Amino acid sequence: FAPVLHGGWTHLISNSVPFLVLGALVMSYGLPRWIKATGFITIVAGLATWLLARSGNHIGASILVFGYFGFLLGMAWFERSVKSIAIAVLVAVVYGGLIWGVLPTDSGVSWEGHLFGVIAGVVAAGLLNDRSRRRASAA
């Protein structure tokens, strides 16, 4: 439930815009893939944060924001299509500063959730990209 819980209005609002923008870009790969990526990121990054992060509250949609960020960059790496590369360049230019969120710079921020979100997003892209799907159906 962590992605829907927030520490206040400021926390909710600061997550909302990147969640909507990056989520819409992930959805450009189709609703079924968006559902699978969102579920995978939420479960894998959530479990990793729960098991490996420091004690405390790890709440907010930033696991998904960072997961979508990793997914979109990962799709460019795995698919190497014009669409996925163009989206990744756009995301890197607009949201490239997110990468600093995976560093332990603020004790009140779940940098572990951010890190595991990015990792889960890249893994989801590796599992859900068109090249992997074609290889699986050919086997």
What's the chain's average pLDDT? Answer: 87
The range of the structural domain enclosing residue 43 comes to: 2-138
Give the residue-averaged pLDDT of 106-118: 84
Residue 79 near residue 135, CB atoms below 8 Å: no
The full length of the chain comes to: 139
CA nearest to 87, candidates 17, 22, 10, 15: 22
Residue 110's pLDDT is 78
How many domains, in total, are found in the chain?
1
Residue 132 near residue 74, CB atoms below 8 Å: no
Residue 95 near residue 22, CB atoms below 8 Å: yes
Confidence of residue 1 (pLDDT cuts 50, 70, 90): low
What predicted TM-score, i.e. pTM, was given to this entire model? 0.88
Tens of pLDDT along 56-106? 766 678 899 999 999 999 999 999 999 999 999 999 999 998 888 777 777
